[in-house]
């Protein structure tokens, strides 16, 4: 098996390889999904570093009570920009980048369904990103990433730029979601039925559905906010005929499902990494696939759990509590399925596998605290406190970011043709894992004890855990260095990876590393799902002559 896959190497056929691209290709409007994937990932990572530096500034300020060097509106601008960047310019585009690179390859497709639209989506993100950074310099948005009016109507001009920036990024996201859906429906290799797709494709279907139905609602809300700020319409302002709760309803109608936009691709990546390094088929394929759809659908019925303490109709809180709690069921199904996949396997602790296991471990904590927050009475106490900050970072850092790292290490050999350094990868992992927990675990306690979120100053009794959290965050920030080191150095010094260093069964590993510019000259024919570990009784069909077998069977 191993041998036949390696035998498919295209090296000697003289095709221009993806790895043979010029550096300049990555700076222009290029329609190759692999180039766009890398563009997304690199830009997202740059913003991860910017957002991280903003976070470190805040944590440094919070190391001791009192206002040391950032307070008042500057502090508010910091967390507004931090939240907005991490969500819209790091996690979402990083996943789009990974999926852009991997999904067409995994489906046996040569590109996305609309390559030009794909490039357009990426290049639409850039002006959005520039506007967002620019907003910081014209007074800055300072009403949090949630931008609740009337506060967001009071704040300076940067808030308008902020809203327009998100409009750009939102539409980029919508166009790429359309692209993913059409690609996954229409571009599958012959024989790849929906139930033979890699699970990453399933999670991208769910993600894209959420983006298509949710993001436009944010767009509409942002448009209203912009019109209200610029032309003086009365949508949201309190007291003069506006309805501040309408913003919250519209905003969370998007922004709660957006949480699933940020975690479902992670579920997909974990579902790819775990079977490969456990050498076992994924446990309960159908249930994992359908639970993604269930999360996408239920995700639209839970938004008001962010508003339990607001002035919403008190009775309506009960149905929203129930739907919110129900989300735990499909999520739990995934966790148990991954545990069952690992159970009895032959685990190989590569860096991506370690990140994947850490993902399960950390995401469970975020999931449990999520159920707490769904319970109205508990939420009445912990809403808008550091408990929420801890919860969302366990989900979005312990979950999404760990999954992004797992995906980046997993596909690094495919993308670059070289292996990363396991030593650096493990160093990165342990610094990241330990730093993360020291930073965010104490924040649960802070919130329960009475520390609200989004404050530059706090009562002296919260000093100890804040200091611990700040020290942890320094370790967390430092953990990025070994990653950067191996990500760059291994481009030049890494061992050649070969087509399939992980002995994975998905189609992406049948092409060369890096893949040829044109992925599959002859469409591969698929006869089963790609998780048949331990069932490898049948090998490759004979290689057709003279055309290359573009990956052969599945």
186-225: contacts with other proteins (CB under 8 A): 186-188, 192, 195, 212-217, 219-221, 223-224
Least distance (Å) from other proteins to the CB of residue 298?
12
Identify which range of 40-48, 85-93, 112-120, 259-267 contacts other proteins by CB under 8 A: 112-120
Q: Is 446 in the site for other proteins (CB under 8 A)?
A: no
Q: What's the half-sphere exposure (Cβ side, CA atoms, 13 Å) at 401? A: 25
Q: Which two tokens stand for residue 228?
A: 């209200």
Least distance (Å) from other proteins to the CB of residue 408?
22
What DSSP assignment string belongs to 52-92?
HHHHHHHHHHTTSSS-SS--HHHHHHHHHHHHHIIIIIIIH
Radius of gyration of the chain (CA): 23
Q: Which two tokens stand for residue 542?
A: 């004979």
Least distance (Å) from other proteins to the CB of residue 446?
11
Q: Is 496 in the site for other proteins (CB under 8 A)?
A: no
Q: Is 15 in the site for other proteins (CB under 8 A)?
A: yes
Q: Is 534 in the site for other proteins (CB under 8 A)?
A: yes
Looking at 99, 161, 228, 394, which residue binds other proteins (CB under 8 A)? 228
Question: Contact 107/187 with Cβ under 8 angstroms?
Answer: yes
Can you say how many angstroms the Cα of residue 40 is from the centroid of all Cα atoms in its chain?
12
Could you tell me how many residues make up the chain?
554
Supply the DSSP symbol for 400.
Answer: I
Closest to 305 in 3D by CA, of 335, 327, 334: 327
Looking at 459, 478, 481, 543, which residue binds other proteins (CB under 8 A)? 459
Site for other proteins in 355-394 (CB under 8 A): 357, 360-361, 364-365, 368-369, 371-372, 375-378, 380-381, 383-385
Least distance (Å) from other proteins to the CB of residue 105?
14
Site for other proteins in 229-248 (CB under 8 A): 231-235, 238-239, 241-246
Site for other proteins in 305-324 (CB under 8 A): 309-311, 314, 317-318, 321-322
Closest to 346 in 3D by CA, of 281, 285, 409, 405: 281
Closest to 159 in 3D by CA, of 133, 137, 135: 135
Site for other proteins in 40-99 (CB under 8 A): 67, 71-74, 76
Site for other proteins in 126-185 (CB under 8 A): 139, 142-144, 148, 150-151, 154-156, 174, 177-179, 181-182, 185
Looking at 445, 467, 475, 491, which residue binds other proteins (CB under 8 A)? 445
What DSSP assignment string belongs to 284-339?
THHHHHHHHHHHHHHGGG-GGGGGTTTTS-GGGHHHHHHHHHHTHHHHHHHHHHHH
For other proteins, the closer of residues 141 and 487 by Cβ is: 141
Looking at 456, 476, 477, 511, which residue binds other proteins (CB under 8 A)? 456
Q: How far is CA 101 from CA 34, 305, 411, in A?
A: 5, 35, 9
Looking at 138, 538, 543, 544, which residue binds other proteins (CB under 8 A)? 538
For other proteins, the closer of residues 130 and 322 by Cβ is: 322
How many residues sit close enough to other proteins to count as binding (CB under 8 A)? Answer: 163
């Amino acid at each position: 098996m191993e041998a036949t896959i390696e035998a498919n190497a295209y090296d000697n056929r003289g095709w221009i390889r993806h790895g043979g691209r010029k550096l300049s290709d990555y700076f222009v409007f290029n329609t190759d999904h692999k180039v766009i994937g890398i563009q997304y990932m690199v830009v997202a990572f740059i913003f991860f570093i910017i957002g991280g530096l903003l976070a470190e500034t805040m944590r440094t300020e919070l190391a001791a009570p009192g206002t040391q060097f950032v307070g008042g509106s500057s502090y508010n601008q910091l967390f507004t920009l931090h939240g907005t960047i991490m969500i819209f310019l790091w996690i979402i585009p990083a996943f789009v980048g990974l999926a852009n690179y991997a999904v067409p390859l995994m489906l046996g497709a040569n590109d996305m369904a609309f390559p030009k639209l794909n490039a357009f989506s990426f290049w639409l993100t850039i002006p959005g990103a520039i506007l967002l950074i620019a907003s910081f310099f014209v007074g800055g948005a300072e009403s949090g990433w949630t931008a609740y009016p009337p506060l967001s109507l009071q704040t300076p001009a940067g808030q308008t730029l902020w809203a327009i920036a998100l409009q750009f990024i939102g539409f980029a996201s919508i166009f790429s979601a359309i692209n993913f859906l059409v690609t996954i429906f229409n571009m599958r290799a012959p024989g790849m039925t929906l139930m033979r797709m890699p699970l990453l494709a399933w999670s991208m279907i769910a993600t894209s559905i959420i983006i298509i139905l949710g993001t436009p609602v944010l767009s509409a809300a942002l448009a209203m906010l912009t019109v209200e700020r610029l032309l003086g319409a009365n949508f949201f302002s309190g007291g003069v005929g506006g309805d501040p709760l309408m913003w919250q309803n519209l905003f969370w109608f998007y922004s709660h499902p957006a949480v699933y936009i940020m975690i479902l691709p992670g579920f997909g990546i974990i579902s790819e990494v775990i079977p490969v390094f456990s050498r076992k088929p994924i446990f309960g394929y159908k249930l994992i696939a359908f639970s993604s759809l269930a999360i996408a659908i239920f995700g639209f019925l839970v938004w008001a759990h962010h508003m339990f303490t607001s002035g919403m109709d008190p009775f309506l809180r009960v149905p929203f509590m129930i739907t919110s709690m129900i989300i735990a069921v499909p999520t739990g199904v995934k966790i148990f399925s991954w545990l069952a996949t690992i159970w009895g396997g032959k685990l190989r602790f590569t860096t991506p596998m370690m990140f994947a296991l850490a993902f399960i471990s950390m995401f469970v904590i975020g999931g449990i605290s999520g159920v707490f927050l769904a319970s109205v009475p508990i939420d009445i106490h912990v809403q808008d406190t550091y408990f929420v900050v801890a919860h969302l970072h366990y989900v979005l850092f312990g979950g999404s970011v760990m999954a992004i790292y797992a995906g980046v290490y997993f596909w690094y050999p495919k993308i670059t043709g070289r292996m990363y350094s396991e030593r650096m990868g493990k160093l990165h992992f342990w610094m990241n894992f330990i730093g993360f927990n020291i930073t965010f675990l104490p924040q649960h306690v802070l919130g329960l004890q009475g520390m609200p979120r989004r404050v530059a100053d706090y009562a002296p009794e919260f000093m100890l855990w804040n200091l611990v959290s700040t020290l942890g965050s320094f370790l967390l920030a430092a953990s990025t260095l070994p990653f950067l080191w191996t990500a760059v150095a291994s481009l030049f010094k890494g061992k050649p990876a070969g087509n399939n260093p992980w002995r994975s069964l998905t189609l992406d590993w049948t092409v060369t590393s890096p893949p040829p510019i044109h992925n599959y000259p002859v469409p591969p024919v698929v006869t089963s799902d790609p998780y048949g570990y331990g069932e490898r009784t049948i090998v490759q069909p004979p290689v057709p002559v003279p055309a290359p077998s573009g990956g052969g069977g599945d």
